[in-house]
Amino acid sequence: MLDTHSIMYITKRPEVMMTLGEGSWLTDNNGKKYLDFMQGWAVNCLGHSNLGMIEALNKQARKVFNPSPAFYNEPMIRLADLLTSHSNFDKVFFANSGAEANEGAIKLARKWGQLHKNNAFEIITFDHSFHGRTLATMSASGKPGWDTMFAPQVPGFPKADLNDLESVKKLINKNTVAVMLEPIQGEGGVIPTTIEFMRDLRALTKKLGILLIVDEVQSGCGRTGRLFGHQLSGIEPDIMTLGKGIGGGVPLSALLCTDAVASFVPGDQGGTYNGNPLMCAVGISVIEQLTAPGFLESVQEKGAISSL
Protein backbone atom coordinates (compact mmCIF):
# COMPACT_ATOMS: atom_id res chain seq x y z
CA MET A 1 0.00 0.00 0.00
CA LEU A 2 1.37 3.39 -0.99
CA ASP A 3 1.42 6.18 1.60
CA THR A 4 -0.02 9.04 -0.47
CA HIS A 5 -1.35 11.27 2.31
CA SER A 6 0.85 14.21 1.27
CA ILE A 7 -0.62 14.34 -2.25
CA MET A 8 -3.62 16.67 -2.57
CA TYR A 9 -6.70 14.74 -3.65
CA ILE A 10 -7.96 15.89 -7.05
CA THR A 11 -8.85 12.60 -8.73
CA LYS A 12 -9.13 8.88 -8.08
CA ARG A 13 -5.88 7.03 -8.69
CA PRO A 14 -5.09 3.31 -8.42
CA GLU A 15 -2.72 2.25 -5.63
CA VAL A 16 0.26 1.77 -7.94
CA MET A 17 3.09 3.96 -9.21
CA MET A 18 4.16 4.11 -12.81
CA THR A 19 7.91 3.62 -12.93
CA LEU A 20 8.80 3.05 -16.60
CA GLY A 21 7.48 4.10 -19.99
CA GLU A 22 8.57 2.65 -23.31
CA GLY A 23 6.73 3.47 -26.52
CA SER A 24 3.10 2.46 -26.02
CA TRP A 25 3.72 0.69 -22.70
CA LEU A 26 3.80 1.66 -19.02
CA THR A 27 5.20 -0.48 -16.20
CA ASP A 28 4.15 -0.08 -12.55
CA ASN A 29 6.08 -0.60 -9.32
CA ASN A 30 4.94 -4.24 -9.24
CA GLY A 31 6.38 -4.95 -12.67
CA LYS A 32 2.98 -5.13 -14.37
CA LYS A 33 2.86 -3.76 -17.93
CA TYR A 34 -0.03 -1.76 -19.41
CA LEU A 35 -0.81 -0.81 -23.00
CA ASP A 36 -1.17 2.95 -22.55
CA PHE A 37 -4.03 4.36 -24.61
CA MET A 38 -4.06 7.63 -22.61
CA GLN A 39 -0.42 8.59 -23.24
CA GLY A 40 -0.26 11.22 -20.52
CA TRP A 41 -3.73 12.67 -21.13
CA ALA A 42 -3.20 13.02 -24.89
CA VAL A 43 0.29 14.50 -24.42
CA ASN A 44 2.86 11.89 -25.49
CA CYS A 45 2.46 12.26 -29.25
CA LEU A 46 5.63 10.23 -29.85
CA GLY A 47 5.06 7.71 -27.07
CA HIS A 48 7.10 7.15 -23.91
CA SER A 49 10.89 7.59 -23.79
CA ASN A 50 11.29 8.85 -27.35
CA LEU A 51 15.01 8.74 -28.10
CA GLY A 52 15.06 12.02 -30.02
CA MET A 53 13.43 13.86 -27.13
CA ILE A 54 15.79 12.26 -24.60
CA GLU A 55 18.83 13.26 -26.64
CA ALA A 56 17.59 16.84 -27.01
CA LEU A 57 16.89 17.15 -23.28
CA ASN A 58 20.27 15.70 -22.28
CA LYS A 59 22.19 17.88 -24.74
CA GLN A 60 20.50 21.09 -23.58
CA ALA A 61 20.81 20.15 -19.89
CA ARG A 62 24.59 20.31 -20.28
CA LYS A 63 24.37 23.88 -21.56
CA VAL A 64 21.85 25.98 -19.62
CA PHE A 65 18.61 25.17 -17.77
CA ASN A 66 17.05 28.57 -17.19
CA PRO A 67 18.70 31.85 -18.23
CA SER A 68 15.35 33.58 -17.42
CA PRO A 69 12.89 34.98 -19.95
CA ALA A 70 14.77 38.29 -19.79
CA PHE A 71 17.16 36.84 -22.38
CA TYR A 72 16.88 35.06 -25.71
CA ASN A 73 18.05 31.48 -25.89
CA GLU A 74 18.81 29.33 -28.94
CA PRO A 75 16.08 26.64 -28.51
CA MET A 76 13.42 29.33 -28.02
CA ILE A 77 14.36 31.00 -31.28
CA ARG A 78 14.73 27.75 -33.25
CA LEU A 79 11.37 26.38 -32.10
CA ALA A 80 9.59 29.64 -32.86
CA ASP A 81 11.08 29.62 -36.36
CA LEU A 82 9.99 25.99 -36.86
CA LEU A 83 6.42 26.76 -35.87
CA THR A 84 6.07 29.89 -37.99
CA SER A 85 7.66 28.20 -41.01
CA HIS A 86 4.99 25.48 -40.88
CA SER A 87 2.00 27.80 -40.35
CA ASN A 88 0.55 31.14 -41.37
CA PHE A 89 1.62 32.78 -38.09
CA ASP A 90 4.43 35.26 -37.52
CA LYS A 91 4.93 35.52 -33.75
CA VAL A 92 5.16 32.95 -30.90
CA PHE A 93 4.91 33.22 -27.11
CA PHE A 94 5.89 30.09 -25.20
CA ALA A 95 4.21 29.00 -21.98
CA ASN A 96 3.85 25.86 -19.87
CA SER A 97 0.31 24.54 -20.34
CA GLY A 98 -2.57 24.69 -22.76
CA ALA A 99 -4.65 26.68 -20.29
CA GLU A 100 -1.87 29.26 -19.99
CA ALA A 101 -1.63 29.56 -23.77
CA ASN A 102 -5.41 30.00 -24.03
CA GLU A 103 -5.37 32.58 -21.24
CA GLY A 104 -2.76 34.43 -23.26
CA ALA A 105 -4.92 34.22 -26.38
CA ILE A 106 -7.84 35.76 -24.48
CA LYS A 107 -5.63 38.58 -23.22
CA LEU A 108 -4.17 39.17 -26.68
CA ALA A 109 -7.61 39.34 -28.31
CA ARG A 110 -8.84 41.80 -25.68
CA LYS A 111 -5.72 43.93 -26.08
CA TRP A 112 -6.23 43.97 -29.84
CA GLY A 113 -9.86 44.95 -29.24
CA GLN A 114 -8.78 47.87 -27.07
CA LEU A 115 -6.49 49.13 -29.79
CA HIS A 116 -8.46 48.38 -32.95
CA LYS A 117 -12.11 47.72 -32.11
CA ASN A 118 -13.24 50.37 -29.62
CA ASN A 119 -12.53 48.22 -26.52
CA ALA A 120 -14.47 45.20 -27.76
CA PHE A 121 -13.83 42.29 -25.39
CA GLU A 122 -16.38 39.50 -25.84
CA ILE A 123 -15.13 36.21 -27.27
CA ILE A 124 -17.76 33.84 -28.65
CA THR A 125 -17.02 30.24 -27.67
CA PHE A 126 -19.04 27.03 -28.00
CA ASP A 127 -21.13 24.64 -25.94
CA HIS A 128 -19.20 21.50 -24.90
CA SER A 129 -15.87 23.22 -25.55
CA PHE A 130 -12.88 22.90 -23.24
CA HIS A 131 -10.16 25.55 -23.00
CA GLY A 132 -8.47 24.91 -19.65
CA ARG A 133 -8.79 25.13 -15.88
CA THR A 134 -7.90 28.72 -15.03
CA LEU A 135 -10.89 30.87 -14.08
CA ALA A 136 -10.92 32.64 -17.45
CA THR A 137 -10.47 29.48 -19.53
CA MET A 138 -13.11 27.65 -17.49
CA SER A 139 -15.45 30.55 -18.21
CA ALA A 140 -14.61 30.31 -21.89
CA SER A 141 -15.33 26.58 -21.83
CA GLY A 142 -18.78 25.22 -22.52
CA LYS A 143 -18.43 22.17 -20.29
CA PRO A 144 -21.70 21.45 -18.43
CA GLY A 145 -21.60 22.45 -14.76
CA TRP A 146 -18.54 24.64 -15.01
CA ASP A 147 -20.62 27.82 -14.88
CA THR A 148 -21.29 27.25 -11.16
CA MET A 149 -18.22 25.31 -9.98
CA PHE A 150 -16.16 28.37 -9.02
CA ALA A 151 -18.77 31.07 -9.54
CA PRO A 152 -18.88 33.86 -10.43
CA GLN A 153 -17.46 33.25 -13.87
CA VAL A 154 -15.29 35.69 -15.79
CA PRO A 155 -17.77 37.55 -18.06
CA GLY A 156 -17.47 37.93 -21.80
CA PHE A 157 -17.84 34.42 -23.24
CA PRO A 158 -21.26 33.89 -24.89
CA LYS A 159 -21.76 30.33 -26.17
CA ALA A 160 -22.76 29.30 -29.70
CA ASP A 161 -23.52 25.85 -31.12
CA LEU A 162 -20.73 24.08 -32.98
CA ASN A 163 -21.20 23.81 -36.75
CA ASP A 164 -24.11 26.27 -36.61
CA LEU A 165 -23.09 29.56 -38.20
CA GLU A 166 -26.46 31.19 -37.49
CA SER A 167 -25.96 30.65 -33.75
CA VAL A 168 -22.67 32.55 -34.03
CA LYS A 169 -24.25 35.41 -35.99
CA LYS A 170 -26.95 35.85 -33.31
CA LEU A 171 -24.30 36.49 -30.64
CA ILE A 172 -22.23 39.05 -32.54
CA ASN A 173 -22.55 42.64 -31.33
CA LYS A 174 -20.44 45.76 -30.95
CA ASN A 175 -18.52 44.16 -28.06
CA THR A 176 -17.50 41.07 -30.02
CA VAL A 177 -13.74 40.88 -30.58
CA ALA A 178 -13.21 37.20 -31.50
CA VAL A 179 -14.56 33.71 -31.97
CA MET A 180 -12.63 30.91 -30.28
CA LEU A 181 -13.03 27.21 -30.99
CA GLU A 182 -11.38 23.81 -31.12
CA PRO A 183 -11.19 22.32 -34.63
CA ILE A 184 -12.16 19.09 -32.88
CA GLN A 185 -13.78 19.34 -29.47
CA GLY A 186 -11.87 16.95 -27.23
CA GLU A 187 -13.46 16.82 -23.77
CA GLY A 188 -16.84 17.47 -25.35
CA GLY A 189 -16.78 13.99 -26.90
CA VAL A 190 -14.45 14.22 -29.92
CA ILE A 191 -16.81 16.40 -31.97
CA PRO A 192 -15.23 17.65 -35.23
CA THR A 193 -16.05 20.89 -36.95
CA THR A 194 -17.09 20.54 -40.56
CA ILE A 195 -14.89 21.94 -43.31
CA GLU A 196 -17.80 24.08 -44.50
CA PHE A 197 -18.39 25.54 -41.03
CA MET A 198 -14.73 26.43 -40.54
CA ARG A 199 -14.52 28.09 -43.95
CA ASP A 200 -17.78 29.98 -43.49
CA LEU A 201 -16.76 31.07 -39.98
CA ARG A 202 -13.43 32.35 -41.28
CA ALA A 203 -15.21 34.27 -44.05
CA LEU A 204 -17.69 35.76 -41.55
CA THR A 205 -15.04 36.87 -39.06
CA LYS A 206 -12.95 38.43 -41.81
CA LYS A 207 -15.96 40.28 -43.18
CA LEU A 208 -16.82 41.72 -39.75
CA GLY A 209 -13.25 42.40 -38.63
CA ILE A 210 -13.40 39.84 -35.82
CA LEU A 211 -10.48 37.63 -34.81
CA LEU A 212 -10.58 33.87 -35.24
CA ILE A 213 -8.80 31.89 -32.51
CA VAL A 214 -8.19 28.16 -32.89
CA ASP A 215 -7.45 26.16 -29.75
CA GLU A 216 -5.22 23.35 -31.04
CA VAL A 217 -4.09 22.12 -27.62
CA GLN A 218 -5.62 18.71 -28.33
CA SER A 219 -6.07 18.71 -32.12
CA GLY A 220 -2.63 20.09 -32.98
CA CYS A 221 0.78 18.45 -33.46
CA GLY A 222 -0.15 15.69 -35.87
CA ARG A 223 -3.27 14.34 -34.20
CA THR A 224 -5.40 14.76 -37.34
CA GLY A 225 -2.83 13.74 -39.93
CA ARG A 226 -1.99 17.38 -40.51
CA LEU A 227 0.36 19.35 -38.29
CA PHE A 228 -2.58 21.49 -37.13
CA GLY A 229 -6.25 20.55 -37.22
CA HIS A 230 -7.47 23.76 -38.86
CA GLN A 231 -5.30 22.98 -41.89
CA LEU A 232 -7.84 20.32 -42.85
CA SER A 233 -10.16 23.20 -43.76
CA GLY A 234 -7.55 25.24 -45.59
CA ILE A 235 -8.17 28.34 -43.46
CA GLU A 236 -5.76 30.82 -41.87
CA PRO A 237 -6.75 31.89 -38.34
CA ASP A 238 -5.47 34.99 -36.54
CA ILE A 239 -4.42 33.26 -33.33
CA MET A 240 -3.58 29.64 -32.48
CA THR A 241 -2.76 27.91 -29.22
CA LEU A 242 -0.77 24.71 -28.79
CA GLY A 243 -0.16 22.49 -25.76
CA LYS A 244 0.01 18.80 -24.90
CA GLY A 245 1.62 17.31 -28.04
CA ILE A 246 4.04 20.18 -28.67
CA GLY A 247 6.11 19.03 -25.70
CA GLY A 248 5.55 15.32 -26.21
CA GLY A 249 5.36 14.88 -22.43
CA VAL A 250 7.18 17.90 -21.00
CA PRO A 251 5.39 21.09 -19.87
CA LEU A 252 5.37 23.28 -22.98
CA SER A 253 2.72 25.29 -24.81
CA ALA A 254 2.61 28.11 -27.32
CA LEU A 255 0.51 31.09 -28.36
CA LEU A 256 0.90 32.04 -32.02
CA CYS A 257 -0.49 35.01 -33.93
CA THR A 258 -0.06 37.02 -37.09
CA ASP A 259 1.89 40.26 -37.18
CA ALA A 260 -1.38 42.19 -37.47
CA VAL A 261 -2.60 40.85 -34.12
CA ALA A 262 0.66 41.00 -32.12
CA SER A 263 -0.27 43.82 -29.74
CA PHE A 264 1.49 43.07 -26.45
CA VAL A 265 3.89 45.63 -25.01
CA PRO A 266 6.32 45.07 -22.10
CA GLY A 267 4.33 44.32 -18.95
CA ASP A 268 1.32 42.84 -20.77
CA GLN A 269 2.45 39.21 -20.83
CA GLY A 270 5.15 37.11 -19.26
CA GLY A 271 5.95 34.04 -17.20
CA THR A 272 8.90 32.71 -15.23
CA TYR A 273 9.47 29.73 -17.49
CA ASN A 274 8.23 31.01 -20.84
CA GLY A 275 10.68 29.99 -23.54
CA ASN A 276 12.60 27.74 -21.15
CA PRO A 277 15.47 26.24 -23.20
CA LEU A 278 15.10 22.72 -21.75
CA MET A 279 11.46 22.49 -22.77
CA CYS A 280 11.97 24.25 -26.12
CA ALA A 281 14.81 21.87 -26.99
CA VAL A 282 12.40 18.96 -26.53
CA GLY A 283 9.77 20.83 -28.56
CA ILE A 284 12.23 21.18 -31.45
CA SER A 285 12.75 17.41 -31.48
CA VAL A 286 8.99 16.81 -31.44
CA ILE A 287 8.21 19.19 -34.31
CA GLU A 288 11.16 17.97 -36.38
CA GLN A 289 9.98 14.38 -36.00
CA LEU A 290 6.38 15.28 -36.83
CA THR A 291 7.43 17.15 -39.97
CA ALA A 292 9.97 14.56 -41.13
CA PRO A 293 9.22 13.20 -44.63
CA GLY A 294 6.51 10.55 -44.52
CA PHE A 295 5.57 10.89 -40.83
CA LEU A 296 2.22 12.67 -41.17
CA GLU A 297 1.42 10.60 -44.24
CA SER A 298 1.78 7.49 -42.06
CA VAL A 299 -0.60 9.04 -39.52
CA GLN A 300 -3.15 9.56 -42.30
CA GLU A 301 -2.73 5.96 -43.47
CA LYS A 302 -3.26 4.59 -39.94
CA GLY A 303 -6.27 6.85 -39.49
CA ALA A 304 -7.83 5.51 -42.68
CA ILE A 305 -7.36 1.94 -41.43
CA SER A 306 -8.86 2.66 -38.01
CA SER A 307 -11.93 4.28 -39.57
CA LEU A 308 -12.85 1.18 -41.60
Bridge partner list, 159: 125
Residues 131-184 have pLDDT tens digits of 999 999 999 999 999 989 999 999 999 999 999 999 999 999 999 999 999 999
Residues in the chain: 308
pLDDT of the residue at 308: 63
Asked if the structure places residue 160 within a domain, the reply is yes
* Phi, psi for residue 274 in degrees, rounded to 5: -65, 130
Count the domains in the chain.
2
Residue 216 sits in a domain whose CATH number is 3.40.640.10
Enzyme catalytic residues: 130, 215, 244
Q: What percent of the chain has pLDDT over 70?
A: 99
Mean pLDDT for the chain overall = 96
Asked if the structure places residue 43 within a domain, the reply is no
- Residue span of the structural domain in which 174 resides: 51-306
Asked if the structure places residue 46 within a domain, the reply is no
Asked if the structure places residue 45 within a domain, the reply is no
- What's the pLDDT band for 306 if we cut at 50, 70, 90? low
Residues 96 and 23 in one domain: no
CA distance 138 to 150: 9
Residues 78 and 220 in one domain: yes
Residues 107 and 180 in one domain: yes
Residues 114 and 154 in one domain: yes
Residues 226 and 78 in one domain: yes
C-alpha of 209 from chain center? 24
Residues 164 and 263 in one domain: yes
pLDDT of the residue at 292: 97
CA distance 139 to 130: 10
CA distance 307 to 192: 14
Residues 201-213 have pLDDT tens digits of 999 999 999 999 9
Nearest to 42 by CA among 187, 180, 148: 187
